[in-house]
Amino acid sequence: MTAVYVEEGPDQGAIWHFGEPNKEQKALEDGKAWADLSHLSIIAVAGVDRLKWLHDLTTQYLLDFQAGVWTSAMVLDPQGHVEYQFVLVDDGATSWIVIDPPYVQGLLEYLNKMRFMLRVEVRNASSEFAVLRAPGKATDIGGPFALVPRSEIAEMEEVFGTTAMQVGTWALDAERVAAGRPRHGFDTDHKSIPNELGVLNNAVHMNKGCYRGQETVAKIFNLGNPPRRLVLLHLDGSQVVMPAPGTPVMNGEVQVGFLGTVARHFELGPIALAVVKRNTPVDAQLTVEGVAASQQVIVPA
């Protein structure tokens, strides 16, 4: 197999595919695939107060977080906009945060600023540890994942390779888009709030105490509707080149949203995530750079 690498963006340097993306997607769907995600950044949070501290800072309920369990979480700004999105796991002594490289420095600075007198230690552990997408059926956060020391990556990959096929980000993106899982920076903008993205009762726990931005999330959840909603678009497959992320989504002559991640799925064909105005009719025939697009509801209108 000849690896084709991602040339730009947050996944730069990662393997895009090995020349047979449909075969890779089928293996991933069957739970018989693994992927090297060592380009992602890792933050280590140690100290006896770490779980209570992370519970207070993030959108996730972490007070009784069990070792070895992976979950997703966000950090919001005071107005409820998404600032950081990540997955994390705890090993009983340290919590490990996996985040896209462009956001690691900002999150590190924020966490260190919020330490105060608590018994927590925060460091960038990207040079020490890496994450792999392990073999197995996809979880609701895109796993299963394996956190491994970088010195043991080759050994772990050899173990995975005895029972599963290595795949690239093309297959992972196709699975993620089909499942309706947004990725920060791809399917969000500076105005995005969790209510728009289909992450309530997932990355955002709805039965926990205060965290920054919670007032916006709770108010909209209890009293109204978000101004926009995430949708899955089924794109006309007659085009050779698909529109780029960020391209305006149009309803006739009116822009109603923007395109997020675009993927070619082995069964569904060209699909994409997009954020559109809430009042956009679900049955509206949308277009993206002239490409026809029909909606599949993720966040109800």
Give the predicted TM-score (pTM) of the model.
0.95
The three-state secondary structure class of 153 is helix
pLDDT of residue 117: 83
The residue assigned the tokens 């009784």 is: 64
What is the three-class DSSP state of 55? helix
Dihedral (Cα; 233, 239, 242, 246), 10-degree rounding:
-70
Q: Is the four-CA dihedral 262, 177, 103, 151 of positive or negative sign? A: negative
Q: Helix 21-29 crosses helix 169-179 at what angle (to 10 degrees)?
A: 50
Tens of pLDDT, residue by residue, the chain (301 residues) = 699 999 999 999 999 999 999 999 999 999 999 999 999 999 999 999 999 999 999 999 999 999 999 999 999 999 999 999 999 999 999 999 999 999 999 999 999 999 988 899 999 999 999 999 999 999 999 999 999 999 999 999 999 999 999 999 999 999 999 999 999 999 999 999 999 999 999 999 999 878 999 999 999 999 888 999 999 999 997 777 788 999 999 999 999 999 999 999 999 999 999 999 999 999 999 999 999 999 999 999 8
How far are the Cα atoms of 171, 233, 293 from residue 237, in angstroms, in the given order? Answer: 18, 12, 10
Burial label for 294, CB within 10 Å (0-12, 13-18, 19+), is: middle
Helix %, strand %, coil % of the chain (to 5): 20, 35, 45
Count of Cβ atoms closer than 10 Å to residue 214 Cβ: 17
Bridge-partner residues for 44, per DSSP? 96, 123
One-character DSSP codes across 167-230: --HHHHHHHHHHHT---TTTS--TT--GGGTT-BTTTB-SSS---TTHHHHHHHHHH---SEEE
- Cα distance from N-terminal residue to C-terminal residue, the chain: 44
Q: One-letter amino acid identity for 264?
A: R
Query: Which residues share a beta bridge with 271?
Result: 234, 263
Q: How far is CA 283 from the centre of its chain?
A: 27
